[in-house]
Amino acid sequence: MPKCPKSEKIEDALLWECPVGDILSSPLDYKSSLIALTAHNWLLRISATTGKILEKIYLASYCKFRYLSWDTPQEVITIKSAQNKCSVLARQAGIQQTVLLYLAVFRVLPFSLVGIVEINKRIFGNITDATLSHGILIVMYSSGLVRLYSFQAITEQFMQQKLDLGCACRWGGTAGTVGEAPFGIPCNIKITDSPPLLFEVSSLENAFQIGGHPWHYIITPNKKKQKGVFHICALKDNSLAKNGIQEMDCCSLESDWIYFHPDASGRIIHVGPNQIKILKLSEIENNSSQHQISEDFVILANRENKKENLITVTASGRVVKKSFTLLDDDPEQETFKIVDYEDELDLLSVVAVTQIDAEGKAHLDFHCNEYGTLLKSIPLVESWDVTYSHEVYFDRDLVLHIEQKPNRVFSCYVYQMVCDPGEEEGEEEEIPNINC
């Protein structure tokens, strides 16, 4: 029987904020919680203030759950399993693995189970991945095709049995309590027929974003030579917005990236190595059925355009001068690495890195979300190795920098903003780093 150990490896985690103004059935639902997924399929609710485990749920034994994410922020959580791989012996025996993965879905206000849905190749074809976002089931294919389905319609049509956490249940001849080991949570949503298709589009590497007012989507045309070119189109009729082809004029090793602004303004953030463009989507004057893309503001890296002269002398003594331009993401120049948005403070946070001699130095800049004005710049104390994986999170008065080194060695640096009584603005005070 699988037990929930007191100390176990955490696979993934989310922060659930304390709700305001809602009447909830359980006092526990009023506590801000850390939602954590362990390596042994336990889902834990941990108090964000005391670290005490408020609730623990055993998910299942028939798959390995690995990824935890918000379907709808602060409303619905999705937990995705690792993909099922067919073993060599099974393939040799002619046995095919048709179930690609499972998605477990929970509501958080109050904390309750929606169900676990099976993603089967017999229904969707030879898909490569699937996920949930804002109530939409998104399935992806190796050809670049992306298809969208309503998850609500799927649950209404294909849910075999409504399950409640902590309640007795009989499933497949076995009895147990939902969410307790070893019974776990049965897969109660099995799609047996093709659900109604909402939308489909083809995009390079399945890159697909949806947002804006009214709904628009962003794709890259499904050709390798189009990498770095983004098309912004209306969802209702697939028409390209005016100035809807966005291509950043940069020469770099790492690609630029684009996404809809998480502040629900309908704007678009386009990030390159040396500039961040905030784009706005608006109606064309005298033509409300069509929309256009225009720049709202641009944030530029603090750098100078440098041209280096390389002088060589031939065997005959002739001097040859060659000039070349550095890459836009050359490590010796200030380069944007991470862009995030803090909704409660309405700030854009930007991490910029410069390689100085043998080590990189980074600073975190806070910009006005409405106009892009630089409000404060804070140097990070620790060095920034550009060959490592980095994540930076900014939430209220806390900044977390998580660095992944080789051999899965992690370091976590925590900064807290403190208010100087003599100043109106806050300062950053580093809390000692935690080696994980």
Residue 400, pLDDT score = 83
**Per-residue pLDDT at 72 exceeds 80:** no
Residue 436, pLDDT score = 34
**Per-residue pLDDT at 433 exceeds 90:** no
Residue with tokens 């699988």: 2
The highest-confidence range among 122-136, 384-398, 422-436, by mean pLDDT, is 122-136
**Per-residue pLDDT at 364 exceeds 90:** yes
pLDDT band, residue 161 (cuts 50/70/90): very high
Residue 426, pLDDT score = 46
Lowest mean pLDDT among 34-48, 135-149, 268-282, 411-425: 411-425
pLDDT band, residue 430 (cuts 50/70/90): very low
Boundaries of every domain in the chain: 1-195, 327-419
